[in-house]
Structure 1
Amino acid sequence: MGSGSSIRGSRIGAGPMGEVERGEAAPRIRVPFYCANKHEVVPSFADEAAVPEEWDCPRCGFPAGKDPQNPPEAPRTEPYKTHLAYVKERRSEEEGQRILDEALEKLRATRAEVEAHMEANGSE
């Protein structure tokens, strides 16, 4: 292990971390945003940057707006749909029955061909 006098996260020859090495920070403004769950988030923006109308709340993920009395509505989540539910949205009951009848007809024709082939070859 190293000695107890070293600073964690630094290396030999590293100088102080600050504005001297990084340059001066741009002037900043802090803008509060409010979500439907009454959370407040205050991100900072560069003074000349365009501030967005909405910001994602880091606590709940809902959209947050600038007006604390009228925050944006929470997004509506649709319930999970099964494959059958999606199929029923695309097809009527009659179309589904017609497609099923066609598939069964093809299956029966294939099965009849296989049985005829097996009888012709004398194997079952």
Structure 2
Amino acid sequence: MAGGNAIRGSRVGAGPMGEAERGESAPRLRVSFWCANGHETQPSFASDAQIPDTWDCQRCGFPAGPEREAPPAPPRTEPYKTHLAYVRERRSAADGEAILAEALAKLRGEI
């Protein structure tokens, strides 16, 4: 005798799922979005939903827009900056010399 369980692999109350049991599906609208690489993405929206201005491309992740000839520009990535680069943005070379001279004077006990 096999396992002895006649309803193996199903759940209690499980039955065929179809339109009759789920109800009517909402009317849908497919909208095309294009990214800077020329990829087309077609998400599906409810017909009464507000369509966004941009959508993320499913292939490359760049922002995509509804106009094929004028897609949004890809995001600009900033290069990694070191702590010293941030300090140089805030201070000039003369400021650095003055701070260094003050620190050295303090170490020598002149202040």
TM-score when normalising by structure 1: 0.70
Separation (CA, whole Å) in 1 of partners of 2:89 and 2:18: 60
Give the deviation of 1:21 after TM superposition. 5.0
1:115 counterpart residue number:
none
Give the deviation of 1:29 after TM superposition. 0.2
Alignment of 1:77-116 (within 5 A): 77-109=77-109
1:51 counterpart residue number:
51
Percentage of matched positions with identical amino acids: 66
Unaligned regions of 5+ residues in structure 1, if any?
A: 110-124
- Aligned residue pairs, count: 105
Label 1:108 to 1:25 Cα distance change in 2 as closer, same or farther (>3 A).
Answer: farther
Q: Which has the higher contact order (CA 8 A, sep 6+)?
A: 2
2:62 counterpart residue number:
62
Q: Secondary structure at the match of 2:34?
A: strand
Label 1:90 to 1:13 Cα distance change in 2 as closer, same or farther (>3 A).
Answer: same
Q: Secondary structure at the match of 1:85?
A: helix
Separation (CA, whole Å) in 2 of partners of 1:108 and 1:18: 86
Separation (CA, whole Å) in 2 of partners of 1:105 and 1:19: 84
> Which moved further from structure 2: 46-55 or 68-77?
68-77
Separation (CA, whole Å) in 1 of partners of 2:29 and 2:94: 62
**Structure holding more helix per residue:** 1
Unaligned regions of 5+ residues in structure 2, if any?
A: none
Label 1:16 to 1:98 Cα distance change in 2 as closer, same or farther (>3 A).
Answer: farther
Matched, 1:42 2:30: no
Larger Rg: 1
Deviations 1:7-61 (A, max 9, x none): 4xx5333233444554432211000000001110000111111101111112111
